[in-house]
Amino acid sequence: MAEPSEKFSRGGANQDGTEGSEQPPGGTATVPRELSSPNRSRKLILHVDLNNTILISDAVTSQGTVAALDYFLTTVTWGRMSKHGKWEWLSDSPSLLPPCEGAVSYYAQFGRVSGFTTRAGRRFRAILDQHLELLLWPDGLKADRELVTKGEDGRLYHWILPSFFQLLRDLVREGRDFAVLFRTFGTDLPRVLRTVQRALKDGAHPLFPDLPDLKLDVNPAAGKIRCSRSATVLSRDGEQVSTRDGERGLYQYLSSVQGLGGFQDHFDWWASHTFSIRGGKPLWVDPFDPTVQHIFIDDNIRQNDNDTIVHPKVFLDPSTAETRTACTSELYDIALVQTDLLRAISEPSYFTQRVHICMENYERNVQQVAA
């Protein structure tokens, strides 16, 4: 095994439920029974993206549910340009990773387009329709205005995916110590916090009337992360922590949070780095820490470090504040989860499964570090 300060060890399940770190994700996730149970006293800090992760809409781009899901399909459908300059499809099934060598996503080739499944992506229209049906707010249930959104087709949809609320319920039932930090470049955070408050504090979600009354910070204006060449600064509720005082201070601050809250990350910084790993949302990871595990869940996490949204900063040893940038593939399914939005819609326990797999893989790494 490589030294833990140089490379994480991932020996657990991938997104297809297979063993080992070399298999690509894509299928139904399972947690292998032979793995040792993760430390239940270890605290989880879940950094959760909003748009196309737990929401299927985008206030910044003015995309409703139908358009946002249509756009997501452009990022998980694959083809290539022929020698005659025409687009050729290489798969009829959406997948997070390319199905073969040389495949590129439709989005990577043509950028953001509208009406994808009514034009070039007509073969994927049935998948769009199927998942829109799954997203519909159930007939006969009271439609709380914070919990539903009206799509462009006039129908009422879940605004926050039920699989996210299922995750909260599952973690509480398992007796986990955890916190959730919403991490977004967009402007949806205030409404997300209000919606979560309606579900947690008021019991307003008819599918989840028994959600626990978790601590909730509903003051989104205080939560910001701003990056520059000289420092990364985190501000929240009148507090401010900066990497000028060492990167471990931000790790310790984020590891100490309780309940649910959020931060608006620095989109302009990401854009100035051409949407690559070094401009992404910062995530501090300590492979030597047996007490806390940080997991980032985001649909724009990709194994191409030139086109990914999280900047993982891994501490080199337990006693210093020095970090290195880890490649996405090193932390995939350990500290980084690329959201499969279609599965997050269709599988109520999707987020719970992904978190369990990360816990199993992290547990292996911690045990190897200890040895």
Domain ranges of the chain: 43-55+160-370, 65-140
For range 209-217, the mean pLDDT: 89
Confidence of residue 368 (pLDDT cuts 50, 70, 90): confident
Residue 135, pLDDT above cutoff 80: yes
Dump strand ranges (E) for 24-112.
43-48, 78-81, 87-89, 104-105
Averaged pLDDT of the chain:
89
d(CA 112, CA 273): 19
Over residues 240-258, the pLDDT tens digits come to 999 998 999 999 999 999 9
DSSP 190-227: HHHHHHHHHHHTS---TT-TT-----B---GGG-EEEE
3-state SS of the chain: helix, strand, coil percent to 5?
A: 30, 20, 50
How high is the pLDDT of residue 213? 86
User: For 134-148, what is the mean pLDDT?
Assistant: 92
Percent of the chain predicted with pLDDT > 90: 76
Q: Are strands 156-158 and 232-236 parallel, antiparallel or unpaired?
A: unpaired
pLDDT of residue 320: 85
**Spatial distance between the Cα atoms of 87 and 185, rounded to a whole number of angstroms:** 32
Helix (H) or strand (E) holding 293: strand 292-298
pLDDT at 25 over 90: no
pLDDT tens track for 248-301: 999 999 999 999 999 999 999 999 999 999 999 999 999 999 999 999 999 999
Q: Looking at the predicted structure, is the pLDDT value of residue 221 above 70?
A: no
Residue 363 and residue 39 in contact, taking contact as beta carbons nearer than 8 Å: yes
Res. 32 pLDDT band, cuts 50 70 90:
very low
Structure tokens at 9: 């060890």
pLDDT tens figures, 157-209: 999 999 999 999 999 999 999 999 999 999 899 999 999 999 998 889 999 99
